[in-house]
C-alpha cells in the first residue's frame, strides 16, 4: 500500500471510528430513557455526522460520493436526518486536466482522437467521481457526448473498497450495529451497484435496452450509442440538449 492509498484509507476509517464511538456512547448513555428531548439530540448528532461525511466525500471523491448517494436511498437503514443531509450530495468533483482525458481516449481508441473527432470541447461539460463528459463533433458533423472514465479511478476505488471492508469488520467486531444492519448483504449490494458503473459497455447496453422498451412513447427522445467508439472506459452517444429534472423553469417552457 503506497502512502497516498494509506492516507486515503486512514481518513475513511478514522471518520467511521468517530461515528461508531459517538453513536455507541450516545445510545448507552440514554438507554432506557428515550424521550422527545433525547430524540432531538440524536437527530442533531446524526445530522452532524452526515455533514462531516459529506465534506470528506466531496474532498476525496471516488467511492465516498457514490456510497453517500447509495446510502441516501436507503431509508430502511439510515435515519431520516442523515438521508436529508446526503440528498444534496452530488458528483461535484473538480475535473482533471483535459490532456489526461485525451490520453485515455487515445489509449482506448488506439489512435489520435482527431482520427474520429473534428472538435473536442476545451473543458468538461460535467465532472463526476467516476467519469467526465466532453462535447465532441464526429467527422460527419454529428454532435456527441463523450463520457470518459477518470484516470486512476480503478486504483482509487480499490483503496476505498478496502477502507469499507475494514469499517465493516470493525462494525461487526466492536459494535452492536450488526443487529440492525446486514453488512454482508449491504456490501454485496453496494459493490454490485457501484461496480457496474465502472463498465461503460454495460451502461451502453442498459441505455439501449431502456430505449427499446419505451421506444413507442411520444415526446421522449433517446440518444444513439456509437458501439465502434465505445469501450469499457469510454462511452459515446448523441448530444441531446436538456436540463436537470429539478429545473422546473426549463420544464415549464417545454
- pLDDT tens figures, 130-164: 889 999 999 999 999 999 999 888 888 889 999 99
Same domain, 64 and 119: no
Distance from C-alpha of 171 to C-alpha of 185, rounded to nearest angstrom:
14
Same domain, 145 and 212: yes
When divided into structural domains, the chain yields a total of 2
Same domain, 62 and 44: yes
11 pLDDT tier (thresholds 50, 70, 90)? very high
Same domain, 79 and 180: yes
Smallest CA-to-CA distance from 98 within 119, 71, 74 is with: 119
Distance from C-alpha of 72 to C-alpha of 62, rounded to nearest angstrom:
16
Show the cell assigned to 74.
436507503
Same domain, 179 and 247: no
Q: What is the pTM of this model?
A: 0.76
Distance from C-alpha of 136 to C-alpha of 191, rounded to nearest angstrom:
32
Phi then psi for residue 132, to 5 deg, are -125, 145
Same domain, 113 and 190: no
Q: Give Dmax (Cα) for the chain.
A: 71
Instruction: Look up the CATH number of the domain holding residue 236.
Output: 3.30.200
Same domain, 39 and 80: yes
Same domain, 103 and 191: no
Smallest CA-to-CA distance from 124 within 91, 154, 157, 158 is with: 91
CA distance between the termini of the chain: 52
Smallest CA-to-CA distance from 50 within 64, 62, 63 is with: 64
Smallest CA-to-CA distance from 11 within 123, 167, 171, 148 is with: 167
Q: Does residue 75 register a pLDDT over 90?
A: no
Same domain, 47 and 145: no
Same domain, 109 and 42: no
Distance from C-alpha of 186 to C-alpha of 76, rounded to nearest angstrom:
11
Residues spanned by the domain of 50: 3-92+153-196
More confident residue, 74 or 127: 127
Q: Does residue 13 register a pLDDT over 90?
A: yes
Same domain, 237 and 164: no
Same domain, 62 and 17: yes
Amino acid at each position: 500500500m503506497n502512502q497516498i492509498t494509506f492516507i486515503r484509507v486512514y481518513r475513511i476509517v478514522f471518520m467511521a471510528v468517530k461515528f461508531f464511538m459517538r453513536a455507541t456512547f450516545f445510545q448507552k448513555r440514554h438507554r432506557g430513557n428515550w424521550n422527545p428531548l433525547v430524540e432531538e439530540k440524536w437527530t442533531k448528532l446524526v445530522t452532524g455526522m452526515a455533514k462531516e461525511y459529506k465534506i470528506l466525500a466531496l474532498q476525496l471523491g471516488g467511492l465516498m460520493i457514490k456510497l453517500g448517494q447509495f446510502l441516501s436511498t436507503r431509508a430502511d437503514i439510515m435515519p431520516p436526518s442523515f438521508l436529508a443531509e446526503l440528498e444534496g450530495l452530488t458528483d461535484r468533483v473538480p475535473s482533471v486536466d483535459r490532456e489526461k482525458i485525451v490520453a485515455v481516449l487515445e489509449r482506448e481508441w488506439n489512435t489520435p482522437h482527431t482520427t474520429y473527432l473534428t472538435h473536442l470541447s476545451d473543458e468538461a461539460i460535467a465532472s463526476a467521481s467516476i467519469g467526465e463528459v466532453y462535447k465532441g463533433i464526429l467527422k460527419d458533423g454529428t454532435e456527441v457526448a463523450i463520457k470518459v472514465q477518470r484516470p486512476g479511478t480503478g486504483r482509487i476505488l480499490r483503496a476505498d473498497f478496502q477502507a469499507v471492508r475494514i469499517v465493516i469488520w470493525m462494525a461487526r467486531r466492536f459494535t452492536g450495529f450488526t443487529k440492525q444492519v446486514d453488512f454482508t448483504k449491504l456490501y454485496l449490494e453496494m459493490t454490485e451497484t457501484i461496480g457496474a458503473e465502472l463498465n461503460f459497455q454495460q451502461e451502453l447496453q442498459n441505455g439501449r435496452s431502456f430505449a427499446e422498451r419505451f421506444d413507442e412513447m411520444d415526446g421522449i427522445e433517446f440518444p444513439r450509442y456509437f458501439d465502434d467508439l465505445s469501450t469499457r472506459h469510454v462511452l459515446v452517444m448523441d448530444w441531446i440538449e436538456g436540463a436537470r429534472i429539478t429545473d422546473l423553469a426549463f420544464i415549464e417552457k417545454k
